[in-house]
Amino acid sequence: MQITYNLKSASERRSEAFEPKENVGFGELRTDHMFLMDFSDGQWHNPRVVPYAPFEVAPGAIALHYGQSVFEGAKAFRHNDEEIYTFRLDKNAERLNRSADILCMEGVPEVMQLAGIEALIDVDRLWFPLQEDACLYIRPFIFATEDRLSVSPSEQYTFCVILSPSGPYYNDGFSKAIRLLISKRFHRAVSGGTGASKASGNYAASLKAGKVAAEYGAAQVLYLDASNQQIEEVGAMNHFHILKDGTVIIPTFTDTILKSITSESILDLGELLGCEVRQETVWLDKFIQDIESGGIIEAGGFGTAAVVAPVGSYIFEDRRVLTVGDGAVGKHTKRIYQVLTDIQKGHISGPKNWLRKVTRLEG
């Protein structure tokens, strides 16, 4: 793939290392450039790195009306050798195409996705924030651009990648457990729907539930299946719980659960974590009983942004509260967070090919 570079002039773009004094936050900043590529006449063409700027979209673009839009979220880390490494980006590229398929959209060949993202990171590498626990958050997305008001799959798309220099997700260290609202009123997905995709519309549909959760003093909703019997997901994370013997349980991936790359990594790491990690159907009633009896001692969410979000308590719609263990962040949860983030930062070595060095190519 021959990428064209139309870069900002030297005086307009970052020319020295980014050494922020304060936490730059998560997902707030942008870098100087973005990657773009278009699909029409049955093929992807014009891959290019261009200045980050608003782009033109036809008011009749299918993405704006019928929601053909999917995205990904990945991270890159700077190691002690001062090089930047992406974490399991091939899995994100694969999942973007799975999401696209679920929405009848055109996927982007994985090699093209990886080449585009690496070219962009290479160009904007000075934007990596030099602070503890920082990352470059990578947001690739595909949206339908065809200007047509009839409801059928678009024949034109744009693939875009933007980067967000991000600081530590946990400002005060990994110490605060959150509360989740167990809602029987809001559902994220139904079988046969789009729950296993990162479709933009899934997130629009979750906003109301998130707002209601906040009214209960909860950080997010614990989503159940449509029959309110099984535990599925936590807001934009997979759910997990930990048994008294340290076994980690993640709900089995179905077509109503997004296949989290963080969860998959924890499943792959099992041995290195020193505990069993497995998937099974998690029944709400049994889950509640096991928390009450002390059979479940820790719980939380897995996802790229937070990596691990410890859950200290659940609140029901009748405002009853269910506390997990002593409500604080447990030792198993801490260890999982530590091991995975240490691998990402290159402090300990993980499985082969999880980290990919961004080559210095800028032409």
Ligand X SMILES: Cc1ncc(COP(=O)(O)O)c(C=O)c1O
- Residue numbers at the binding site for ligand X (CB under 6 A): 73, 233, 236-238, 258, 260-262, 302-304
In SS3 terms, 27-86 reads as CCCCCCEEEEEEEECCEEEEEEEEECCCCCCCCCEHHHHHCCEEECCEEEEECCCCCEEE
Q: What is the smallest separation between the CB atom of 10 and ligand X, expressed in angstroms? A: 36
Q: What is the smallest separation between the CB atom of 363 and ligand X, expressed in angstroms? A: 32
Backbone angles phi, psi at 35, to 5 degrees: -110, 135
CA separation (Å) from 59 to 106, 145, 201?
21, 9, 18
Torsion angle of C-alpha atoms 78, 121, 360, 347, degrees rounded to 10: 20
Q: What is the smallest separation between the CB atom of 42 and ligand X, expressed in angstroms? A: 30
For CA atoms 349, 162, 235, 157, give the dihedral sign: negative
Q: What is the smallest separation between the CB atom of 167 and ligand X, expressed in angstroms? A: 18
Q: What is the smallest separation between the CB atom of 100 and ligand X, expressed in angstroms? A: 15
Which one, 40 or 338, has the nearer CB to ligand X?
338
Confirm if 221 and 186 have CB atoms less than 8 A apart: yes
Q: What is the smallest separation between the CB atom of 262 and ligand X, expressed in angstroms? A: 3
| DSSP-derived pairing of the beta strands 43-51 and 33-40 | antiparallel
CA 94: distance to chain centroid? 14
CA separation (Å) from 318 to 229, 242, 285, 321?
17, 26, 16, 9
Which one, 121 or 266, has the nearer CB to ligand X?
266
Tokens standing for residue 140: 């690739």
Residues 337 and 329: their CA atoms lie apart, in Å, by 11
Which one, 123 or 237, has the nearer CB to ligand X?
237
Tokens standing for residue 209: 């539930």
Which one, 3 or 105, has the nearer CB to ligand X?
105
Which one, 210 or 327, has the nearer CB to ligand X?
210
Which one, 73 or 325, has the nearer CB to ligand X?
73
Q: What is the smallest separation between the CB atom of 146 and ligand X, expressed in angstroms? A: 26
Confirm if 294 and 244 have CB atoms less than 8 A apart: yes
Q: What is the smallest separation between the CB atom of 7 and ligand X, expressed in angstroms? A: 30
| First vs last C-alpha separation in the chain | 14
Which one, 50 or 212, has the nearer CB to ligand X?
212
Q: What is the smallest separation between the CB atom of 260 and ligand X, expressed in angstroms? A: 3
Which one, 257 or 324, has the nearer CB to ligand X?
257
Residues 226 and 238: their CA atoms lie apart, in Å, by 17
Which one, 45 or 278, has the nearer CB to ligand X?
278
Which one, 145 or 166, has the nearer CB to ligand X?
166
Confirm if 74 and 86 have CB atoms less than 8 A apart: yes
| DSSP-derived pairing of the beta strands 248-251 and 277-280 | parallel
Q: What is the smallest separation between the CB atom of 301 and ligand X, expressed in angstroms? A: 8
